[in-house]
């Protein structure tokens, strides 16, 4: 029987086959589910599941934070090297699919080890250091190859906008599914819940990548002509950042945007635990995540309709105004010091969340289109596209921002006085995993600790410290992103159309 799938099956032209478009986009569910589990919840897993020595909890948590910071900085530096490897790939069964598959295999192994292997104390710190670095490197291979494949499929702006929208919507589905489920089910049975979630997410991630490799087509390319091109060196990749000024500014924009958007999520579960209690904080976080998902997915799903009505410049303006309004209102929810302004209730934070997350959804999707357009800008000014190198810049900026984010989170959790309490809760969860406590006993004991914190003289100010990290710092960062877009990014719709026309005519324009 003849095999139905061909690794090296390709298509010609700018029209992406329907099957490729849908499978490529749907595979984002598994990818972002896996990334969200690590990036958003792994520190919380460490914080609340008793893998650290009780007597050295803050020190070991600090060392793990430092490992994450160093690993992500190194991974960010390493991203252009990985982009170079992918750019110079000339395998017959695809330029991008081999790295998507190989990255998926090793990423899956690392993810399972991180959640399922549980030595305590410094033994866990050592295992974490090795496999977290493996996770960062191997997921990067998958990530750069995946995102580099997107602009290679089509140069038509309408099709690219549509494909980018589909990818980000399905990626958001994966991210928000994990973001909502984890806080809902982990309190009181954290160890087993995290392990089961890790197994399910890894399985979905791996299967989605295998299906992509088997069923998606890459656009036909001249392999022999590509082999004759000079190899791309790491030096040349950093030179690209210097010569492609639009790419340089987009990298800075992504850095500040990612850092700002990640802080609310990173602080969120701790903030809700300590503002409400251990039993119900996760539920409130789940409901807030539902709002997050709805605002982001709906706004991104209707992006093509919005793009028909408004220019990218207008979309950036409107989305930024929504972000500013939402974060400003959120600052006055709950306590600011001993004073309460707006109640921390889902009916209050839901409409605020819609403003924040719908605004961020449009803002982020517009940035993604901006970075894909720098590929044509590079071809317009140099005659070379270099998709893999350009898309290595996105994870590079994301990793640098993520490393700084981890340091900020650690400092604010320590300054807010919550690390010591989470240490005690983690011991309760460890005893639950050993069968020495019931879920009810864990929840009751944890709620008592948090209530004592809230009623202490420092409690309201500790929550205010967290609020500054959640609201004030992100708002400053979003403002920086917006200013750079308005002042430094010049590829609007009119210029992009001109670039495509000049490229089709073989012109190279020096700006």
Burial of 4 (0-12, 13-18, 19+ CB in 10 A): exposed
Question: In this predicted structure, what is the pLDDT of residue 285?
Answer: 86
Contact 82, 232 (CB under 8 A): no
> Which domains does the chain possess?
18-216+234-504 (1.20.1250.20)
pLDDT in tens, 25-69: 999 899 999 988 998 888 888 988 888 888 888 889 889 988 988
Q: Percentage of the chain surpassing pLDDT 90?
A: 29
Q: Give the pLDDT mean for 335-348.
A: 84
Q: Which residues pair with 336 in a beta bridge?
A: 339
Asked whether residue 420 carries a pLDDT value surpassing 80, the answer given is: yes
Q: What is the pLDDT of residue 10?
A: 66
User: What is the pLDDT at residue 225?
Assistant: 57
Q: Is the pLDDT of residue 81 over 90?
A: no
pLDDT given for residue 122 in this prediction: 93
- The pLDDT of residue 3 is above 50: no
Report CA-CA distances (Å) from 103 to 107, 208, 216, 253, 443. 6, 13, 17, 27, 39
CA distance 180 to 278: 16
Query: Going along 263-322, which residue ranges are E strands?
Result: none
pTM confidence score: 0.76
Confidence of residue 130 (pLDDT cuts 50, 70, 90): very high
């Amino acid at each position: 029987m003849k095999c139905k799938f061909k690794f090296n099956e390709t298509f010609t032209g700018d029209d992406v086959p329907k099957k490729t478009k849908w499978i490529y986009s749907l595979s984002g569910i598994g990818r972002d589910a896996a990334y969200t589990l690590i990036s958003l919840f792994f520190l919380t897993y460490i914080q609340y599941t008793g893998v650290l020595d009780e007597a050295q909890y803050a020190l070991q948590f600090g060392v793990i934070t430092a490992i994450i910071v160093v690993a992500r900085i190194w991974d960010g530096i390493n991203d252009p090297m990985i982009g170079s490897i992918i750019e110079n790939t000339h395998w017959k069964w695809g330029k991008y699919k081999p790295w998507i598959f190989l990255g998926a295999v090793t990423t899956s192994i690392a993810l399972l080890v991180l959640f399922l292997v549980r030595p305590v104390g410094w033994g866990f710190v050592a295992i974490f250091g090795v496999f977290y670095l493996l996770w960062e490197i191997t997921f990067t291979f998958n990530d750069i190859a995946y995102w580099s494949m997107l602009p290679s499929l089509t140069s038509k702006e309408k099709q690219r906008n549509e494909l980018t929208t589909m990818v980000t919507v399905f990626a958001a589905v994966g991210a928000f599914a994990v973001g909502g489920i984890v806080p809902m089910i982990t309190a009181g049975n954290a160890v087993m819940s995290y392990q089961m979630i890790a197994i399910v997410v890894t399985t979905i991630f791996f299967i989605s990548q295998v299906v992509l490799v088997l069923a998606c087509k890459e656009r036909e390319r001249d392999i022999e002509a590509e082999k004759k091109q000079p190899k791309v060196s790491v030096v040349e990749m950093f030179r690209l950042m210097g010569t492609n000024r639009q790419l340089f500014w987009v990298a800075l924009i992504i850095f500040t945007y990612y850092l700002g958007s990640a802080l609310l999520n990173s602080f969120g579960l701790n903030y809700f635990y300590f503002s409400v209690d251990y039993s119900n904080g996760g539920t409130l976080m789940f409901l807030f995540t539902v709002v997050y998902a709805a605002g982001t997915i709906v706004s991104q799903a209707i992006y093509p309709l919005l793009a028909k009505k408004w220019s990218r410049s207008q979309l950036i303006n409107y989305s930024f105004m929504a972000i500013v309004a939402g974060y400003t209102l959120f600052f006055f929810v709950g306590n600011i010091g001993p004073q309460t302004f707006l109640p921390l209730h889902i009916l209050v934070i839901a409409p605020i969340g819609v403003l924040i997350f719908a605004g961020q959804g449009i803002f982020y999707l517009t940035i993604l289109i901006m970075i894909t357009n720098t590929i044509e800008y590079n071809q317009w000014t140099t005659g070379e596209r270099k998709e893999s190198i350009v898309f290595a810049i996105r994870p590079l900026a994301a990793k640098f921002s993520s490393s700084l984010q981890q340091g900020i989170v650690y400092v604010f959790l320590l300054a807010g006085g919550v690390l010591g309490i989470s240490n005690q809760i983690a011991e309760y969860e460890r005893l639950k995993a050993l069968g020495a406590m019931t879920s009810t006993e864990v929840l009751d004991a944890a709620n008592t600790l948090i209530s004592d914190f809230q009623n202490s003289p420092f409690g309201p100010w500790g929550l205010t410290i967290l609020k500054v990290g959640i609201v004030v710092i992100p708002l400053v960062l979003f403002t920086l992103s917006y200013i750079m877009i308005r002042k430094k990014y010049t590829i609007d719709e009119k210029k992009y159309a001109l670039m495509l026309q000049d490229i089709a005519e073989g012109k190279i324009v020096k700006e």
